[in-house]
Amino acid sequence: MADGYRSVAIVESGEPLVDIPAAAFAFTAPHPYVALGAPYGDASPWRLRRGVLDALLRAADRLAERRPGWRLKLFDAWRPVPVQAFMVWREFHLQAARLGRPLHTYADPADLARRAPALYAELAPTVFTFWGLPSDDPATPPPHSTGAAVDLTLADAAGREVDMGCPIDETTARAYPDHYAGASLPGHRVIHGHRQLLHEVMSAAGFSRHVNEWWHFSMGDQMAAFTRGEPFARHGRAP
């Protein structure tokens, strides 16, 4: 997919952001990026476009039919552009730390690219395989900043997260949706089955899955439109 999806035109739907009802889903608590100090201000991350929320509720119902007592467990939903920038820069720090190359003397990715272009070129491909560019351009919003994308997993009837093979936001090949497809180990086949179940209930409700992340689904944004071959996206950057 690379950045091809960012070329899709946006014809804004005007659907408002609405609160996600607490009773309908399980939630990661505290919210993982709020806990890291991401700059949400007074805004709640637990919001989606109205039509996207309606579809997510349909997916939850379908999961309950397939696995009685199971629930969709939400990890993240709406993400303002400043939060996207915060998380992207944090990921640059994490990737650099793995190389023993701390970034404390740099201000942001642009500063890193300007002053240490070789290091930026080494880190950026991994970062942007999993994180959308924190663009301020209304024509190229990060997917979560549209209010049309959600990161989530599955919780069983006892409220426990099921094994999906790696944590949400892991930046390795284990994050790829089909990483465990064709696995020979029974435990790995179970993991692939869980990923397929999540994909099936979400796609039946109209969502498209990120090609590199088993946990990321969206509807009506540029990424979903690109994946589905649609001529335009319906959701641009949400207020």
What band does 239 get if pLDDT is binned at 50, 70 and 90?
A: confident
pLDDT tens digits along 92-103: 999 999 999 999
DSSP code per residue over 83-149: HHHHHHHHHHHHHHHHTT---TT--SHHHHHHH-HHHHHHHHHHHHHHS------TTS--GGGGT-E
Structural domain range at position 178: 19-80+145-233
Q: How many separate domains does the chain show?
A: 1
pLDDT tens digits along 56-66: 999 999 999 99
* Catalytic residue positions, numbered: 213
Give the CATH number, domain containing residue 210: 3.30.1380.10
Question: Looking at residue 17, what is its pLDDT?
Answer: 98
SS3 state at 75 = strand
The token pair at 123 is 């880190």
**Residue 148 CA: distances (Å) to CA of 27, 30, 52, 143:** 17, 21, 6, 7
Mean pLDDT of the chain: 97
Confirm whether 128 is domain-assigned. no
Mean pLDDT over 200-212 rounds to 98
Confirm whether 134 is domain-assigned. no
Confirm whether 100 is domain-assigned. no
| Cα 149 to Cα 142: distance, rounded to the nearest angstrom | 10
CA angle in degrees (0–180, nearest 5) for 90-142-175: 60
pLDDT tens digits along 25-46: 999 999 999 999 999 999 999 9
Cβ atoms of 26 and 72 within 8 Å: the answer is yes
pLDDT tens digits along 67-76: 999 999 999 9
Question: Looking at residue 221, what is its pLDDT?
Answer: 98
What band does 2 get if pLDDT is binned at 50, 70 and 90?
A: low
The token pair at 226 is 């690109």
